[in-house]
Amino acid sequence: MVTSSILLTVMAHPDDAELWAGGAIARHVQTGGSATVAVTKHDPIRASEATNGAQILGADIYLDDELTPATISTLLTEVRPDIVITHSTDDIHPEHRQCAERVLAALPDIVITTGHPSRVYHCDSYNNLDQHGKPLHLPTIIDITDQWPTKTAALKAHTSQPIVNHFGPMSETLSRLHGMRIGTTHAEAFRPLPVLGRLPATESL
């Protein structure tokens, strides 16, 4: 990772950043970068949980009632991230797909205007499946073994959600699956997307 670079995650729900990219966010911050987690606000309880989760990861939080295309464009312009992570446009959850489509629709004009971001990634989904029941193709795998305790602590901040009995075990299973692929204990996986026709020339985020 590039020291002092800015990572932005744009997600549909307050626990999505922790689930799909919590380890990568924590690793990015721990190696000298900064991070912002952008999610929809939902209700006051979930907004508080999102704030606590981001704080544990070392990230700033951006909460909005609805991440509209205009809001996302403004966010990208103001933050000027080097790296953006969002959902897959083929995600199981329709709100995840909508979020991803809004991010991708905003990118061309923002990149032309600001030069940022230079790297964009889709993240994992429920049990690594797309909306057709097929595994997502996520070739960029990030070792988060050292960040695993931070990721799980941030995930557990979402006490209103079924973390212990559902999302937590799923996160553990996915992290071990991706970890096995690179010979480590825990990992997260992503898919790089072309930014104005260019793919990142790096194996890391």
Q: What is the pLDDT of residue 2?
A: 44
CA distances from 148 to 122, 155, 156, 202 (A): 20, 10, 12, 23
CA–CA gap between residue 181 and residue 30 (Å, rounded):
23
Give 108's strand partners: none
Residues contacting residue 147 through CB under 8 Å, at least 6 positions apart: 22, 23, 24, 26, 27, 30, 186
Q: Where are the domains of the chain?
A: 6-193
Residue 21's φ and ψ, nearest 5 degrees, are -145, 15
- Given a contact cutoff of 8 angstroms between Cβ atoms, the answer to whether 82 and 75 are in contact is no
Q: What is the pLDDT of residue 196?
A: 86
Low-confidence ranges of the chain (pLDDT < 50): 1-2
CA–CA gap between residue 72 and residue 108 (Å, rounded):
13
What CATH number belongs to 6-193? 3.40.50.10320
Residues 31-72 pLDDT 10s? 999 999 999 988 999 999 999 999 999 999 999 988 999 999
pTM of the model: 0.95
Classify each residue of 164-193 as buried b or exposed e, where b means 16 or more C-beta atoms within 10 Å of its C-beta: eeebbeebeebbebbbeeeebebbbbbbbb
Q: What is the pLDDT of residue 1?
A: 41
Q: What is the pLDDT of residue 3?
A: 52
